[in-house]
Amino acid sequence: MAKNLMIQGTMSGVGKSILTAGILRVLRQDGLRVAPFKSQNMALNSFVTKDKREIGRAQALQAAAAGLEPTSDMNPILLKPMGDTTSQVIVNGLPIGNMKARDYFRMKKSLIPDILSAYERLARQSDVIVIEGAGSPVEINLRENDIVNMGLAEALDAPVLLVGDIDPGGVFAQLLGTYNLLSEREKERVKGLVINKFRGDVTLLEPGLDMFKPYCSVPFAGIVPFVGLDLDEEDSVSERLRINKKSSENADVRILVVRLPFISNYTDFTILEGIFGVSLSYIDEPDALDEADLIILPGTKNTISDMKWLYEKGIAGKIQELAKKDVPIIGICGGFQMLGRSIQDPDNTEAGGSEKGLGLIQVDTVFEATKNLRQIKTQTGTLTGIFKPLSDLEIEGYEIHMGVSYGEEEMPVRSEESVLGTYIHGIFDSPEFTRRLLKIIYEKKGLDREVPEIEGAFVHQEKELNKLADVLRQNLDFELIYKIINS
């Protein structure tokens, strides 16, 4: 049976997901068979496995760090928020329904057998499992029936590294406050402390480690510097989703993504951020779209609600206006549904009701109870309008949606005039598709230059994971970490 190590944090956003991925990559480089595990994740940024199951995107990244194909065993419970108090509950990769937070809290302990079975399947194939907690282990009002932090650590007999984020300040208070709110039994599980996202001269911080010892005897396992790596994060805390009112004036191409209230799978656009001369920004006001060379409507977990929001904000009218001026517009998944004529939810699959779409692509969407989950490798087909140069290209990605769109012709990618829509997440990760898309924009703007080289998403991710492993090797005490794992 595998040994294990659990990464818990003083709060959300301390960097647990990325640290977990980096530790997995280091252990894998050292020759161990490793796997990630997060019993319960809450995220709209998800991934579809080869066997058509849905997991958190962070666990897909961690699987890549471990050199594994992602499976639902790595994230047996996924909660996808649909509002302040309601989430779609996904167990073992498949949706079991929409639940109010109070109802889920009452029933979640019944999911422990699913959690333990998933972990045991991973453990039979691994030397070490690195487990990621969620939020903080000392939300004392939620401690009863905990299945993701100390409750899970106890169930799996896992030692814990406790991580604090120094970036907002108060890291020693974070660590000590968290530690002191643990029960004596829980404190015994904490074997090391980590300070994450440090900027500046580390020698100025080091005296504080000694000054901290009288308050807490747990040793420090390292101080990790802030590093600008291009890796997928949890959607709720990502810096990428900060609203940018104005994109870079020096960029050749300005891509604006509408920051929908229930935006999902923003990682569709990660590849665009790394292209020289391309600026990608998130906006939530109509006037900001006037400077766009390309507008993207992303995926959403609540399509009808976000469609209403587009009309209320005046963004819908602005997009329709710019479409008439041949500004390129692309909709992905829920964004594709919004580009159509209508969106209907007769069975209350999301929130019920119906809403008029933007009317820019001739399809109508009806939500159905069955969720469409699949990885896909196909061709774009014959496209029209300004997107004609994208015809018959090989593309791959995954689909994850509740609605079915009906129109005159069913195609993986639809285009009309200056508008393109698709259900395929990850379409921009196909380098030739994105290269030709940028060429269309270059020619439209009269830019006489070559499109920059676009690195494949997998190659880029591998480089970033190896960079992360190098940083952790230099700044974490792996002698201590191995001692913790082997204890």
Which residues carry out catalysis? 333, 425
Check if the beta carbon of residue 441 is closer than 8 Å to that of residue 352.
no
SS3 percent helix, strand, coil of the chain, rounded to 5, is 40, 30, 35
Nearest CA among 36, 117, 29 for reference residue 70? 36
Which parts of 178-293 are beta strand (E)? Answer: 190-198, 220-225, 253-258, 263-264, 278-283
**Position 380: which residue type?**
T
Measured CA distances, 182 to 136, 142, 213, 214 (Å): 11, 13, 17, 18
Per-position DSSP letters for 20-70, written without gaps between them: HHHHHHHHHHTT--EEEE-SEEE-S-EEE-TTS-EEEHHHHHHHHHHT---
Cα torsion 17, 18, 19, 20 to 10°: value is 50
Q: How far apart are CA 258 and CA 310, in angstroms?
A: 9
Which alpha helices (H) appear in 303-365, and where do they start and end? 303-313, 315-324, 334-339
Q: How far apart are CA 361 and CA 379, in angstroms?
A: 19
Which parts of 178-232 are beta strand (E)? Answer: 190-198, 220-225
